[in-house]
Chains A and B, each alone.
Chain A
Amino acid sequence: MAILEARNLVKRFGAVAAADGISFAIEPDSVVGLIGANGAGKTTFINMATGYLKPDSGAIFYQGAEITPLAPRAITHRGICRSFQVPQLFLSLTVRENLLVSAGIAVRHGAGGRIEAQVADSLERFALAAYADKLAGVLPEGIRKLLDIAMALAARPKVLLLDEPTSGVSAEEKFGVMDTVMQAVRPQGVTVLFVEHDMEIVERYGERVLAFYEGRIIADGAPRQVLENPEVREFVVGEHAAH
């Protein structure tokens, strides 16, 4: 059974259709890349899947049950967590304190384990130990992304949605970030969906790729196959060849 499924999602913002009939099913324990130009609907999908936005029509299912009307809080408790395009951190708190908050909330809602142990584990796993007592507001971008993702993992999700995990991260650090995240979750069989503009990352880590364009999915398959699709080349990759 698909772990996450979208059925005919439609979402308009005025005249713009951020989702124009999106349907797809994600198998458990898979890694899927979402590609598409800015405004194609990828983040809107994540926002809808996590309850921040409600679609105009259509539904989203998690483990067979509909989650469309739920609030982000409830969806997190069910097992779907996300990271953000712009890292959403507690800027006036230190890295350690940020992790204490996320671990504390998670443990209190039944994620299991002990708070201090979880924090120590996150600091080590995501190489944040050196920054533990620095304020989140002064961190370099790559570290912010890692903290953002580490916090998303506190609730031990079964599905992890990453919104542009390597954007703003230097070329040398990109693979480091992705490797760290994948190593932290894949052994547990966590399903990962990641939005990316960097096609190298998409090819390297994605088992399957969904290409978005103007609110619709125009290609769906293995990375090589999708990236060679002529429509994808024109509407998605073409724009990025200029980078």
Chain B
Amino acid sequence: MSDRTARALVLALAILLVAGLVLPKWAISLAIISLGKGLVVLGMMLLMRTGLVSFGQGLYYAVGAYAVGILNQVYKFSDAMLMVAAGALAAALIALVLGALLAGYRAIFFAMLTLAFSMILYGLLVKSSALGSTDGFNVDARTLAGIPMGGGASYTLYAFASIAAFLGAWGLHRYQGSLLGRIAPAIRDNELRVEYLGASVRAVVLLNYVIAAVLSGAGGAIVALAVGHIDPEMAYWTTSGEFVFVAILAGTGSVAAPFLGSALFEAIRTVAYQYSPYTWQMVLGAAMLAVIMFLPSGLWSLFERRRARP
């Protein structure tokens, strides 16, 4: 099974890289954004497997983006790879602190605390005139690990995003098959037993929280570069809500689902918004209700059913 998934991921990466050579600019841009947001959803998926729903991934998404922004505008960094790495690192450090506090909470309280933290960041960003307050500011990268990169919809950034997504998905897949990774669904099912078996639930929850934060930070950084602009809205609870929505859609069954779900969401949002700006949210809401009521394991379960166990 793991071999098959790894092979599928490599194939997907190859297809992405080749397709990118012929895709129009708007598709490239959409793809980079989907891949970046897909990373955030990948992190959410890990948390959901551990039995936790975060309503505040926007925090790390924004941290990643603003790390890029600050390095770019204040310190005049211009290398994308460095900035994305910095975004991921910043997210990891903050997650270590917040995660230590959060690791003792579950269910609604975990969700509400994550929401509170993201709204705290939002409040700080909005009031910070140095960071452009509600307008945010533009970002602009020139190179990626030395390779010249022009603008947000460049093939270089696209390739980088594809590789980052591949590494994230493949890494998570390997992690989930490992001993430590197996503990996540066990925690979701029965924390007490996990403790009685001798493992520390808190430690595993913290680890998974930090991994999710790193993925979200990297995702936010990538999206910031693709869009060329960052603003506090990235930390607002409705942004986190969108990630939750896509995570539900994607389910917890496959590491590729978050990216496909993100792409679907972005495509729908772009198209629907153009034709009917006052009803696309309604359509999304109705779709979400339908998924929850009829497909409790997400859209992915539609594919899983075909390969059901005997």
Which residues of A line the B interface, CB within 8 A? 50, 52, 71-73, 76-77, 81-82, 88-93, 97, 100-102, 104-106, 108-109, 115, 133, 151-152, 154-155
**Chain B, 185-228, contact with A by CB distance < 8 Å: what is the 0/1 string?**
11011101111111110000000000000000000000000000
List B contacts of A104 (CB < 8 A).
179, 182-183
**A90 close to B190 (CB less than 8 A):** yes
Instruction: Report Cα–Cα, A77/B309, bound state, in Å.
Output: 36
Which residues of B line the A interface, CB within 8 A? 179, 182-183, 185-186, 188-190, 192-200, 309
List A contacts of B182 (CB < 8 A).
97, 100-101, 104
List A contacts of B196 (CB < 8 A).
50, 72-73, 76, 81-82, 88, 152
Residue in A52, A93, A108, A152 whose beta carbon sits within 8 Å of that of B186 in the complex = A93
**B179 close to A108 (CB less than 8 A):** yes
**A92-B197 contact, Cβ under 8 Å, with A104-B182, A108-B179:** no
Instruction: Report Cα–Cα, A182/B46, bound state, in Å.
Output: 40
25 A-B Cβ contacts within 8 A? A71-B195, A72-B195, A73-B195, A73-B198, A76-B196, A76-B197, A76-B198, A77-B198, A88-B192, A88-B193, A89-B189, A90-B190, A91-B189, A92-B189, A93-B185, A93-B186, A100-B182, A101-B194, A101-B197, A102-B197, A105-B194, A106-B197, A133-B309, A154-B197, A155-B198
Instruction: Report Cα–Cα, A102/B194, bound state, in Å.
Output: 8
**A90-B195 contact, Cβ under 8 Å, with A101-B182, A101-B186, A115-B179:** no
**A88 close to B190 (CB less than 8 A):** yes
Residue in B183, B188, B189, B197 whose beta carbon sits within 8 Å of that of A155 in the complex = B197
Query: Which A residue sits closest to B179, measured CB to CB?
Result: A104
Q: What's the nearest-Cβ distance from chain A to residue B85, in Å?
A: 30
| Additional 9 contacts, C-beta under 8 A, given A88-B192, A101-B194 | A73-B199, A76-B197, A76-B198, A91-B189, A93-B186, A105-B179, A105-B183, A105-B199, A155-B197
**B309 close to A90 (CB less than 8 A):** no
Instruction: Report Cα–Cα, A104/B183, bound state, in Å.
Output: 9
**B195 close to A89 (CB less than 8 A):** no
Closest 6 CB pairs of A and B: A104-B179, A90-B189, A88-B193, A76-B198, A105-B199, A105-B197
Query: Which A residue sits closest to B310, measured CB to CB?
Result: A133
Query: Which B residue sits closest to A91, measured CB to CB?
Result: B189
Which interface residue of B182, B198, B199, B309 has the most chain A CB atoms within 10 A? B198
Residue in A77, A90, A106, A155 whose beta carbon sits within 8 Å of that of B193 in the complex = A90
Instruction: Report Cα–Cα, A106/B192, bound state, in Å.
Output: 16
List A contacts of B189 (CB < 8 A).
89-93
Query: Which B residue sits closest to A87, measured CB to CB?
Result: B193
List B contacts of A76 (CB < 8 A).
196-198
Q: What's the nearest-Cβ distance from chain A to residue B278, in Å?
A: 40
Query: Which B residue sits closest to A111, measured CB to CB?
Result: B198
**A73 close to B185 (CB less than 8 A):** no
List A contacts of B188 (CB < 8 A).
92
**B179 close to A151 (CB less than 8 A):** no
**A89-B200 contact, Cβ under 8 Å, with A101-B182, A104-B179, A105-B183:** no
List A contacts of B185 (CB < 8 A).
90, 92-93
**B193 close to A151 (CB less than 8 A):** yes
**A106-B190 contact, Cβ under 8 Å, with A92-B185, A93-B185, A101-B182:** no
Which interface residue of B179, B185, B188 has the most chain A CB atoms within 10 A? B179
Instruction: Report Cα–Cα, A4/B197, bound state, in Å.
Output: 20
**B198 close to A109 (CB less than 8 A):** yes
